[in-house]
Structure 1
Amino acid sequence: MPARKGTATPKGGAVAGATTEPAGLNGDGSAARSASVIANVFDVLRCFTVQEPLQGVTEIAAQVGLHKSSVSRILATLEREGIVERDDLSRKFRLGLGLLAVAGPLLADLDVRRVSLPMLRDLSAATGESAALVLWDGAEAVTVEQVPSAQNIKHTTPLGTRYASPLNASVQVFLAELPDDTARARIEDAAAQTGRGADELLARLHRTRERGFAVNYGDTFPEEVGISAPVRDHRGETVAAVLLAAPLYRVDDRRLEELGRACAHTAAQISARLGAVPA
């Protein structure tokens, strides 16, 4: 039973009946316990670092001084919310992009996002279509910024939307950065699900490299066209992708090339702002 207000429950040598300050706002310790749980959650999250991005239950328990069962329950809750996710290979945990949903102010300080927004606005205004910025989490492309088209009929997606299919233009951009053997291994499992052969999907990646942008012409949704181009940093690494989304009925072959060039141009502008050397 919780201790009565003004008394302390015997614990660790405390004397029953001794007067104490109230344990919590309600005098029953509930606020203190809640604060303790929250503190434990933050302690668990702080275990994930740049140097050690993957953490298992045992490692975390040792670092925070909690029982493994407690850590496992915390991680299970965080995983359901997308705050952490499992690494497919090691089955350990890492931070998930679900953090984006609760880190809006933090996103404003994300260099690539801050740099990109004015150029995405210009791209959307110039093309009349929705422009977005996507990041790669190692397995999926995730929308982190978007400027909707001003037209009545448009294609938009909520921030945090994930793209996993190699038919998605933004996914093709990131897969095109991989060596052929690595890319093939990544797309072979998806090939059966898309109804396309691995050779066909790999050929798309080659085409993406050649022309500087990827195309999804009604492949994932029959009424939508997606066009994406890579954003590179000062090391020349692809750190993001610009994505244009438009209704298919507005995009014929000629306009497809125009949108592709516009998308690639904007991606190159953003890359230059990040310090990338022009190709």
Structure 2
Amino acid sequence: MASTRPVGDAAQVEDGPVRGPLVSVLNAVALLDTFSVAEPRLSVTEIARRLDLHKSTVSRLLGTLESVGLVERDGGKGHFGLGVGILGLAGPLLAHLDVRKIAYPEIEALVHATGETCALALWSGHESIVVEQIPSPRQVKHTTPLGARFSKVASASVRVFLAELPESRVRTLLREGLVTADGRDAEAVLEELAAVHRDGLAVNDGDTDPEELSISSPIRDHRGLVTGAVLLSAPRARVTPFLRDDYGERVRRSAASVSSRLGGLVSGG
């Protein structure tokens, strides 16, 4: 990011003083600019000192940025860093993500094999974000804009990511409304996530859109952690039971191939 200076309560620019909401915007940009490759995690105190702002002001800014996924909290250590949600805004940054580069050929091959729209999704901490997509060549298709965010349990990619989280974290996300379950209780959701974890596959058969079927499978890195998800979307009307099973296996194999190239261990389930 270009260097940005905080402006305090007001600042003077060529067109006159900067006040009100614009001050908060400029301070938020300056805050994001404090993070670097050398120092990816900073405390509220460190940020406040570097920006010459009150800690309360920095805390409010961080809370707002965290709520939209632009920063994330580092566990219980009181440190913050840039969040995956920033990918929804920073298109040029996507070109430098290894998982995106590695996944693209697999997603492209999946589109050619199925004729349906395929995508790569990443997890922001409480929602799935589409960071790459290749649309179906067919006239009737389902597509999603880059940067689109999903936070419903019914979404296939959301379930893939939730299935990797501790039960306590899933319960917290549901309780705080960061992930919605459309009336289902936590126990039912956890039971469903256990099946997704076991099968390495999640299917959204008209659960979020009666005209869409989507299938997702996790991508794992060399540590075995889920770092992304392959997602296929198609009109339900043309997906027969045979094709649904076939697409599921193809999505799973595509995700496993990306995982393998990332150094991940691929299980047979």
Partner of 1:84: 70
How many equivalent residue pairs?
246
Partner of 1:67: 53
- Structure 2 residue ranges without an equivalent (≥5): 1-11
Deviation at 1:178?
2.4
Query: Which aligned pairs between 1:218-229 and structure 2 lie closer than 5 A?
Result: 218-229=206-217
| 1-structure distance, mates of 2:180, 2:197 | 24
Deviation at 1:147?
0.6
Q: What one-letter code is carried by the residue in structure 1 that aligns with 2:128?
A: A
**Closer/same/farther in 2, CA of residues 148 and 193 from structure 1, 3 Å limit:** same
Deviation at 1:257?
1.4
Q: What one-letter code is carried by the residue in structure 1 that aligns with 2:97?
A: L
| 1-structure distance, mates of 2:224, 2:246 | 25
**Closer/same/farther in 2, CA of residues 165 and 40 from structure 1, 3 Å limit:** closer
Identity of aligned residues (%): 41
- Structure 1 residue ranges without an equivalent (≥5): 1-27
2:128 equivalent to 1:145: no
Deviation at 1:93?
6.2
| 1-structure distance, mates of 2:224, 2:69 | 29
Q: Is contact 1:123-1:263 (8 Å) kept?
A: yes
SS at match of 2:208: coil
Partner of 2:31: 44
2:260 equivalent to 1:276: no
What whole-Å deviation, never above 9, does each CA across 1:6-45 have from its counterpart, x for those lacking one?
xxxxxxxxxxxxxxxxxxxxxx9739x99xx999766522
Root-mean-square deviation (CA), in Å? 3.7
| 1-structure distance, mates of 2:66, 2:190 | 33
Deviation at 1:195?
2.2
SS at match of 1:194: coil
SS at match of 2:140: coil
Partner of 1:122: 109
2:94 aligned residue (107, 110, 115):
107
SS at match of 1:109: coil
Q: Is contact 1:75-1:84 (8 Å) kept?
A: no
What whole-Å deviation, never above 9, does each CA across 1:250-276 have from its counterpart, x for those lacking one?
223322211111100000010111111
What whole-Å deviation, never above 9, does each CA across 1:160-197 have from its counterpart, x for those lacking one?
11111111111111111124454344445669851223
SS at match of 1:63: helix
SS at match of 2:215: strand
**Closer/same/farther in 2, CA of residues 227 and 54 from structure 1, 3 Å limit:** farther
Q: What one-letter code is carried by the residue in structure 2 that aligns with 1:210?
A: R
Partner of 1:237: 225
Deviation at 1:205?
1.1
**Closer/same/farther in 2, CA of residues 55 and 251 from structure 1, 3 Å limit:** farther
**Closer/same/farther in 2, CA of residues 53 and 123 from structure 1, 3 Å limit:** same
Deviation at 1:102?
4.5
Pair member with larger Rg: 1
Query: Which aligned pairs between 1:114-263 and structure 2 lie closer than 5 A?
Result: 114-187=101-174, 193-263=181-251
**Closer/same/farther in 2, CA of residues 185 and 128 from structure 1, 3 Å limit:** same
Partner of 1:30: 14
Under a length normalisation based on structure 1, what TM-score does the superposition of the two structures give? 0.73
**Closer/same/farther in 2, CA of residues 253 and 197 from structure 1, 3 Å limit:** farther
| 2-structure distance, mates of 1:180, 1:40 | 36
